[in-house]
Amino acid sequence: MQILFVCLGNICRSPLADGLLRKKVTENKLDVLVDSAGTAGYHIGEAPDSRMIATAKARNTDLSFLRARQFKASDFGIFERIYVMDTANLKNVLSIAKTEAERAKVSLVLDSIEPGMEVPDPYYGNQAGFDHVYDLLDEATTHIILKLKDGTL
């Protein structure tokens, strides 16, 4: 299984989902490729936002080794599941898809928890926003692990 998380900048939300799922995949001894990307190219090559790194580190999740990259059409050939953070990401990723099979790989990451729910962008907010994003993506990635283990993903 290959799983990609996508947000706008690939420095806040999707790196957190990426780091959380990598950690849980290792803990559960699963064989899964995990990566993340942004629909925008503003932060290519950068480490995650220092506030996101600190928020994750406080809860034993390392994000410091991740580097931002931009989502590209060829990602559809590599990843079986593409989880986006909000409806703007959904629209952008779907606009790059060429086939129905590619479109079927894409969904909101919180859809299985609360249909239609978005992970809010914490970039212009405060620490509470970063903690909230952590809680949401911690739950979402645990849900993904459960589905990987019972073979329903």
Quick one: 3 or 37, whose CB is closer to ligand 4NP?
37
Please count the other Cβ atoms lying within 10 Å of the Cβ belonging to residue 65.
10
Which is catalytic among the residues 22, 103, 121, 135? 121
Catalytic status, residue 18: no
Q: What is the largest CA-CA distance in the chain?
A: 41
Position 56 contacts ligand 4NP (CB under 6 A): no
Position 11 contacts ligand 4NP (CB under 6 A): yes
Q: Shortest Cβ distance from residue 51 to ligand 4NP (Å)?
A: 10
Please count the other Cβ atoms lying within 10 Å of the Cβ belonging to residue 31.
7
Please count the other Cβ atoms lying within 10 Å of the Cβ belonging to residue 22.
22
Catalytic status, residue 121: yes
Which is catalytic among the residues 7, 49, 75, 86? 7
Interface residue with ligand 4NP, options 26, 42, 78, 127 (CB under 6 A): 42
Question: Do 68 and 10 contact (CB within 8 A), yes or no?
Answer: yes
Position 7 contacts ligand 4NP (CB under 6 A): yes
Structure tokens at 131: 């903690």
Q: Considering only 11-19, 25-33, 56-64, 98-106, which stretch makes contact with ligand 4NP by CB under 6 A?
A: 11-19
Please count the other Cβ atoms lying within 10 Å of the Cβ belonging to residue 116.
8
Question: Do 4 and 105 contact (CB within 8 A), yes or no?
Answer: no
Catalytic status, residue 12: no
Q: Which residues bind ligand 4NP (CB under 6 A)?
A: 7-13, 38, 42, 121, 123
